[in-house]
Amino acid sequence: MAGWMEQMRKRREKIIKTHAQWHSQNQMKKIRIFMTVIVITLVFSLAAGSLLAWSRMRGLFEPPASGSSTALSEMNPSKSGGLPVYSDSLSLMLVNQSNPLPSGYQVRLADFEGQKVDERIVPALKQMMEKARTDGCPLTLSGGYVDSDGQNRLYEDEVQRLMKNGNLSRVRAENQALNTVGKGGYSENQTGLAVTFSADGKQGDDFASAKQYHWLSENSVYYGFILRFPSEKESLTGMEFQPGHFRYVGTGNAVKMREYSMCLEEYAAYLSKQSQN
């Protein structure tokens, strides 16, 4: 009888130990599953974060537009925000003292607000001026396309003015006039993509104090226009600050140029370097 009782006691102890071991193993299994879920979640979170960071960095350093081809062939305009979008060979055409107007360029003239401009910028120009008017900042379009002969006459008039009023020699007057007017064939006035604004009787340097100038500084990029000759970029553009002179470059390019704090010369060089990488 005593032997039988001893066997029963040992059997109960074995059952209790087995149950305790099973419970312990089950708890460990649950812990391992929980830890595995945490690790997988962390891995996915890190991967998603890395992908997002990479996407943002790529968006910052990629060329803002489709390319920087200097060919004069033009893509068919597509629509973006209701405005035509043209190839960079048109929108980013660089004309200055060092870069003459390309010989194959054909301007498409249209009459708008009493001035001649390239017809391809009319939709954006019209929308911008209408919005400015709605916002209480009506703009007067006081300048647009100028042909090469007309540009040379403007240049000569400025030379004569400087010689008379500034008491300058002709050589000095010519050099100074290059920084304010420019010669025919070396001025973007011949592109039809540049316009000059005035408002409330304020034009030239005085336009900088008009509320319309501040409106343009804030909003013009959304219509594809940039302040072509900023005061802080004179050494790069080769032209003195002209607060009323704006140039069409396309909305995407204009927004990026403001984001990067670049004038057209800098932006064109940037895109050229990017295309070589």
- The series of mean pLDDT values per 10 residues for the chain, 277 residues long, is 56 53 57 60 53 44 39 41 90 97 96 98 98 98 98 97 94 95 96 97 95 98 98 97 98 98 98 90
pLDDT of residue 20: 54
Strand order in the sheet with 140-143: 140-143, 194-198, 245-248, 225-227
Q: Region of 234 please: left (phi>0), alpha (psi -120 to 50) or beta.
A: alpha
**How many CA atoms, within 13 angstroms, populate the side-chain half-sphere of residue 219?**
19
pLDDT of residue 131: 98
Overall pTM > 0.85: no
Q: What one-character-per-residue DSSP string does 135-200 give?
A: TT---EEEE----HHHHHHHHHHHHHHHHHHS---HHHHHHHHHTTT--TTSSGGGTT-EEEEEBT
pLDDT at 114: 97
pLDDT of residue 54: 45
